[in-house]
Amino acid sequence: MKSQTLYLSCIFLWLMLFQEPCSCSKTTTCFKEYQFTFPVSIQPTQDTLNIGDTIWVGMEIPAEIINEVDSEMVFFINPVNFDFKFSLSRIDTVLIDYYGDSIRPSAINNFSIINVEGETDVIVPSSNPSISYLDVTPVTIGEIVQRIKFGLIPGQIGVYKIGFFNLSRSFENIESFEGDECESIVRDINFNLNNSLDNNNYDLFLYYTPSGSKWWYDFDVHLDEGKYVFVVR
């Protein structure tokens, strides 16, 4: 009886030592990063406008676009839930906020808005109304292509800076050449305004924002974040 017990113990030990590691089911999640540059048009392209003129802002998001992370083509098989922030501030005026800090407040209320394609909503944060912005949602044209178009009519003189920002960081319904089994992580979205014609008036920005100012940023940021400076007289 003892020999049988010893034999079984040896068999059990052998199985423990030499069997393959347990193939337990594990949930593996893969991630695929994306970075896009969307073309934006601002018309007219002149740097000086008059009160009552109209500035037209437009963007079209195609059904396929280059992923700048790996240079592969990305196909949008469904409209993606893009959500953009459009900021507009006056840079020739500095105010003091409630806390005693100098600010360049939002100038959205200095303009009338003409909505043509997509939706635009003025967002006024209750905690800080000075950073109000325009929430811009594209409209779907056909099945996939998305488009934005709206007009801005200035009602006050000044030097203004506009900019685009992406509010959505993680998108669904993106299919690349590698399939859609991975979770989509958007590293960044940049905006190409008028193919950087005339540097988007970066010289005006430098004139009113010298190096060393807390509002200063370099030329690459000016282009990538879709910033544009113009004068209203």
DSSP character string of the chain: -HHHHHHHHHHHHHHHHHSPPP--------EEEEEEEEEEEEES--SEE-TT--EEEEEEE-SEEEETTTTEEEEESS-----EEEEEEESS--EE-TTS-EE--B-GGGEEEEEEESEEEEE--TT-GGG-EEEEEPEE-SSS-EEEEEEEEE-S-EEEEEEEEE------SEEETTBS-SEEEEEEEEEEEGGGGGGGGHHHHHHHS-TTSTT---HHHHHHBT-EEEEE-
One-letter amino acid for residue 5 of the chain: T
**pTM, 2 dp:** 0.75
pLDDT at 175: 60
pLDDT score at 96: 52
- Confidence at residue 231, expressed as pLDDT on a 0 to 100 scale: 93
- Distance spanning both ends of the chain, measured CA to CA: 106
| Rounded CA separation 123/181 (Å) | 35
Q: In whole angstroms, what separates CA 16 from the centre of its chain?
A: 54
The number of beta carbons lying within 10 Å of the beta carbon of residue 152 is: 24
Widest distance between CA atoms in the chain: 106
pLDDT averaged over consecutive 10-residue blocks of the chain (233 residues)?
51 49 50 84 90 94 88 80 83 63 76 93 78 85 86 94 73 56 76 76 84 79 81 94
How many other C-beta atoms are found inside a 10 Å radius of the C-beta of residue 97?
13
